Amino acid sequence: MSGLYPLSVDIIPILEDNYSYLATYAPGYAFLIDPADPPLVLAHLQSLPTPPIITHILTTHKHWDHAGGNLKIVETLNPTQPSDPITVVCGSLDSHPSTTLPCFNSDVINLPGGHVVKCVHTPAHTKGHMCYLVDSAEPKVVFTGDCMFKGGCGKLFEGSPSEMTTSLLRLTSLPPQTLVYPGHEYTVSNLEFAFWALPDSSFIEGALEEARKIREEGKPTVPSTVEYERMGNPFVIAAAGGGGGEGGGWGRILREGEEVGGDELLGKVREAKDKGMHKR
């Protein structure tokens, strides 16, 4: 894969705690991920010395804080780039009205200049939730929307624990150094829960301290990596059937001696977080 233009990702914090991203994949060419706050995203583009042509909007899912800016961005930018109309990609099962290219699991988008984006269907938060893997980048880069956050996962609005388990394992079977760009800045609260659930994990303890420091400086804690999620994300650890290690386990979530599989464990961990058990 050498010789390809090095992918560069701009983090654009929008709304309350969402992230939109601008990924430049060839000189003068880029795609956007979830540009749900058009004025901020357009201002970011205008602040660049040479604003790139936006060839694609990759939509992780249909919720307004991810897909709600698509039409406005297309309306604004298409007249400025008449020979390159924007392709709006979204999971076929989410059928968002702005979509011009509905996608399915393993669909491949070949970008001008040689980079390749693979669509990774990751249902459970919504039925049609998609993550987008830039398979050709070195290291690989994946945009995970509201499926996998740094240290957490999305709520199961339209799917079962078993579907979220499959979705998370799909993402964390990527190479360990894969960069992970999620849809929200939830890291500190996710890791607070993670440390409550797995109090014997020195990795999570250190990760929480580090994330608090980064947020105090007003900086984003993203990107993460697949390796980090395997170590510090309780939902990923549950999905993989793992547990807190020496004498710790899931003592705050399971009864003593209770043995459950990955799906069921993930369901129980999700339920504990939804109920805010770590805040009691």
Give catalytic residue positions: 61, 63, 65-66, 125, 146, 184
For 58, phi and psi rounded to 5 degrees?
-100, 120
Q: Where does this chain touch Zn ion (CB under 5 A) — which range of 41-49, 103-111, 139-147, 164-172?
A: 139-147
Nearer to Zn ion, 63 or 140 (CB): 63
Contact range with Zn ion by CB under 5 A, out of 44-52, 113-121, 141-149, 240-248: 141-149
Task: Output the smallest distance, CB 152 to Zn ion, in A.
Answer: 13
Nearer to Zn ion, 183 or 244 (CB): 183
Helix H or strand E segment including 31: strand 29-33
Q: Which of residues 181-240 bind Zn ion (CB under 5 A)?
A: none
Give the SS3 label for residue 230: helix
Return d(Cα 113, Cα 130) in angstroms, integer: 23
Q: HEC states along 107-161?
A: CEEECCCCCEEEEEECCCCCCCCEEEEECCCCCCEEEEECCEECCEECCCCCCCH
Token pair in block for residue 211: 């994330």
- Regarding 146 and contact with Zn ion (CB under 5 A), the answer is yes
CA distance 33 to 142: 11
> Measured from the CB of residue 109, what is the shortest distance to Zn ion in angstroms?
22
Q: From 55-63, 72-80, 188-196, 259-267, give the range in contact with Zn ion by CB under 5 A.
A: 55-63
Dist. CA 276–CA 78, nearest whole Å = 44
Total site size for Zn ion, rule CB under 5 A? 2
Are 226 and 172 contacting, i.e. CB atoms less than 8 angstroms apart?
Answer: yes
Find the shortest distance in angstroms from Cβ 153 to Zn ion. Answer: 11
Rounded to the nearest whole angstrom, what is the least distance from the CB of residue 78 to Zn ion in the complex? Answer: 26
Least distance in angstroms from the C-beta of 264 to Zn ion? 24
Closest to Zn ion by CB, 94 vs 207, is 94
Residues that bind Zn ion (CB under 5 A): 63, 146
